[in-house]
Copies of this chain bind each other. A is one copy, B any other.
Amino acid sequence: MPRANEPGRTVSSRLWDLLFAFDPDHTELSLADLVRRTGIPHATARRLTLELVEAGALERTGDNRFAIGLRLWRLGTLAPRAETLRSAAQPFVEDLYTALRQHVQLAVLQGDQAVIIERLSAVNAVGLTSQVGGHLPLHCSGVGKVLLSHNSPEFIDEVLAGRLRRFTPKTIVDPAELRRELASCRSTGTVVVKEELSEGAESVATRIVDGTGRVVAALSVVVAAGSIKLQAAVPSLVASGLGLSRSLGWRPGIPIRTS
């Protein structure tokens, strides 16, 4: 006999539970997978999943599995902080990459992470695992430090008070030292990170500012540790960053907000 449904749960929350069951390591899931990963009873999961397919949010693969649909991808394309920014940045990122032939990354802030919006990579450059759509920690990546340093004092306190994971022996996890770095980054607009996230990789990052003076993104170049290339990359990086900021409406004289 049918039992009452669990109270306090909305249809919407269940739908997003199902969708967020997909991740970079699981881009295709069967109905049983979805049931296991979400805990939703399978009759319910099935009904909702089929509705998602009908809406175009999911697609069925040949072998009775589900994947994120093209229609949902196109929706994501409309996110002002992602694809719109990405296309504005495209020529600058492109030129920077052509000039340096090193990894170039563009990232924005989401929660307590830096999310990679765009990424160009040379085949012969340092190996990196990060992907477009992937995320980097705020306290020990170039883009992360830029985004963190230009946020509100309360937010900085919150992040520094949290767990600062040590990725390599060189990762800076001392809050006092990090604060000094962030202050420096705030005044210069750029920051250098050496092997704090992965050994053998160094990066420089710079801020991207919009017409209202808000720091909306960070642009970085990643090179092999110890190579002379890092110093050579700084001027081009800064120039590209300023160019992109200008194309977003920023002009010299517009104060850069640090709220």
Contacts and interface: CB of A to CB of B under 8 A. Distances in A.
A75 B22 contact: yes
A27 interface: yes
A52 interface: yes
B23 A78 contact: yes
A72 B68 contact: no
Interface string A69-81: 1111111111111
A12 B133 contact: no
Interface in A153-197: none
Number of copies: 2
B78 A24 contact: yes
A51 interface: yes
Interface in A60-106: 61, 67-84, 86-87, 90-91, 94, 98
Given A78-B22, A83-B132, A94-B120, A11 B13 contact: no
A132 B89 CA distance: 13
Given A11-B12, A12-B15, A57-B16, A78 B87 contact: no
B94 A55 contact: no
A173 to B, nearest CB: 27
A10 interface: yes
A103 to B, nearest CB: 12
Given A12-B48, A57-B16, A94-B120, A82 B70 contact: yes
Pick the most buried of A71, A77, A110, A120: most chain B CB atoms within 10 A of its CB: A77
A29 to B, nearest CB: 11
Most chain B C-beta atoms within 10 Å of own C-beta, residue among A16, A76, A120: A76
Nearest to A22: B78
15 contacts: A10-B51, A11-B12, A12-B15, A13-B51, A13-B55, A15-B15, A22-B78, A27-B84, A59-B81, A67-B80, A70-B115, A72-B79, A76-B76, A77-B132, A83-B132
Given A11-B12, A87-B131, 20 more contacts: A10-B11, A12-B51, A12-B55, A13-B55, A15-B15, A20-B75, A27-B79, A27-B84, A59-B81, A68-B75, A68-B80, A69-B79, A70-B82, A70-B108, A71-B110, A72-B72, A87-B132, A90-B120, A94-B120, A98-B98
